Structure formats: structure tokens, C-alpha cells
Amino acid sequence: MQLLIEKELNSSDKILKPDFNCKTGRELLAFYLQTKFKQILAYDKRCPSPIFIEINPNFIANFSKRLITKPSKRFLIGITGESASGKSTICKTIKSVIEQFDMPVAVLSTDNYFNDISGLINKYGSFDNLIANGYDIDAPKSFQLPVLKRDLLDLADGLDVKAPMYLPNGTGVSVPNALDISSEKIIVVEGIATMYEDIKDVFDVRIYIESDNEIRKQRFLKRACEERNQNPENALKQWEYLKSAGEKYVIPGRKDADFVLNGTSDLHYFTQILEYIYTITNNFQ
């Protein structure tokens, strides 16, 4: 991939920069990007460990249409996947690469849109007791989905929002209007709720991160015990719940993704793909 980047930078055969303010210029850009995206996918397919597992065959056409018809909209990327699949890592990598090129980017986690369940936790004595009594925290009804959708639509239209903040300390408290999220040119949204009904269609690019169950289990238990000081028995119990919830609520969203990415792929290679995309969209005469 590094060779492709250098070849692109050193090429003398470059197109004139289109006028993105007119439809014809945007159509030229869309056609150009279609060709380059196909080149990326062909290259990845030949790699020993490809990052692209599946691609929506309609993505390139839909993405091109979006570039042409809605140039003023902010660009929203939704990233989802089961617990410990690697979605947060991919999200951080995308943000880091975008910032490296001095492009404005905002990041939002849908975990901040969990309902306030502090009253229920007080009633049952603890978060674990609440879960043991059947509360399904990953179910769509456990999120403030109308608020999430409103905020995403506002961000897409260029409006800053004040998102809620769910406190991950076992209290179940959600603080309204606590996080200032600016409507930057690119907005990356990460979490299981990105593919829920009425939310998924807001995004310009929908990414599903997939990893082997055993790798996910090892990642989750290590994070739970070493970083969050959870009891190994409770961590294992939580893993079993998350595995079941993932099958019920997260995996069905896989079919709606534009890209299914390998969550165990080399992050350096993924970074190079992002750098190449930046190069081809900014390397005109």
C-alpha cells in the first residue's frame, strides 16, 4: 500500500482539480473515486490478511450519488460490531489519521445515549442485580434513540449539539446535555446503536467490525479484569450476556453495513489505506 501512495504522489498523470461547487465537478470527482476505490479493494483482496471481509455492492454508486447531490452535508461514519470486536480501536485509528492531515473530525459514542437507570439500580441494589433480574441493557429500548437520531441529523446539517453523558461507574446515571459535540467536516460515531432501526440510515458510511469469538472473549476478559478491576467470575458472566445480546441485537445489523472489516487486521496497514484515500482525494494538478 505504501508503494501505491508513493506512486500516486509522484505520478505526473494527474487530473485537474474539479470545481466542487458545481455538479459537473462533483460528478468528475465521483467517477474518479469509483476507479480508485476499486483499485484499493483489488489490492486488499490480494493481501495475506485482507481487512475487507465483505463490501456492499451498491456502496460505490450510493456514495458517488451522495457526493454529487448533498455536498454541503457533514460526512457521518457509523462504526459498530460486537463487544471487543475492535470497533473502538478502528474508530481511534480513523480519528488519528484524519487529524494527522489537519482535517476537522468529531467523535461520538452511542454508549452515551443509554437511558438513565439510576432509579432501577437503587431499586434492585446494584447494576449486577438489575441485570440478573432481566434488564436488557443492550436492547434498543435501553437507548435514547430519538435523542441520538435528532443529534445526528443536527450534526449532519452543520449544527453543534450537546449530547448526554452516561456515567460508566455503575450508578446508571445519564447526564443530559453534558458533552459538547461540534459539527465537523467528518463525524465518526461508534457503538452498537449505530445500526439500530431509524439510526442506521443517517450515516454516509456504515462499518461493521468483525472478530473471532475466542479473540473477542480474551480481549473482553483481559480488559474487564485488568483495566476495570472486575471479579473474573462476574466478568465471565457479563461476557456470556454480551455474547447473547450481540447475537440478538448487533449481528443483525451486519447485513446493512457498507463494509465488514476484519477487527484483527494490521492497524498499520489500515492506516495506510486511510492515507491512500486522503492522497487520492487531495492530489490534483
Residues 103 and 217 grouped into a single domain: yes
Whether residue 192 contacts residue 249, with contact meaning beta carbons closer than 8 Å, is answered with: yes
Residues 81 and 191 grouped into a single domain: yes
Distances (CA, A) of 85 to 81, 122, 166, 229: 6, 32, 21, 20
Listing DSSP states for 150-178 in one string gives HHHHHHHTT--EEEEEE-TTTT--EEEEE
Residues 284 and 144 grouped into a single domain: no
Question: Which pLDDT score is estimated for 234?
Answer: 85
Residues 148 and 35 grouped into a single domain: no
Q: Tell me, yes or no, whether 2 lies in a domain.
A: yes
Distances (CA, A) of 12 to 15, 82, 272, 284: 9, 44, 22, 10
Residues 251 and 270 grouped into a single domain: no
Q: Tell me, yes or no, whether 57 lies in a domain.
A: no
Residues 195 and 141 grouped into a single domain: yes
Question: How would you class 187 by CB atoms within 10 Å of its CB: exposed for 0-12, middle for 13-18, buried for 19 or more?
Answer: buried
Question: Which pLDDT score is estimated for 22?
Answer: 86
Residues 13 and 152 grouped into a single domain: no
**Residues counted in the chain:** 285
* Grouped pLDDT means (10 residues each) for the chain, 285 residues: 74 72 84 85 90 92 85 92 92 90 91 97 92 92 97 96 93 96 95 94 95 94 85 89 94 96 91 86 67
11 lies in which domain range?
Answer: 1-51+266-285
Question: Which pLDDT score is estimated for 285?
Answer: 57
Residues 156 and 175 grouped into a single domain: yes
Task: Report d(CA 8, CA 136) in Å as an integer.
Answer: 50
Q: Tell me, yes or no, whether 133 lies in a domain.
A: yes
Q: Tell me, yes or no, whether 189 lies in a domain.
A: yes
The count of domains in the chain is 2
Task: Classify strands 174-181 and 161-166 as parallel, antiparallel or unpaired.
Answer: antiparallel
Residues 44 and 146 grouped into a single domain: no
CATH number at residue 206: 3.40.50.300
Residues 166 and 213 grouped into a single domain: yes
Whether residue 20 contacts residue 26, with contact meaning beta carbons closer than 8 Å, is answered with: yes
Task: Report d(CA 26, CA 278) in Å as an integer.
Answer: 17
Whether residue 164 contacts residue 104, with contact meaning beta carbons closer than 8 Å, is answered with: no
Residue with cell 500516486: 8
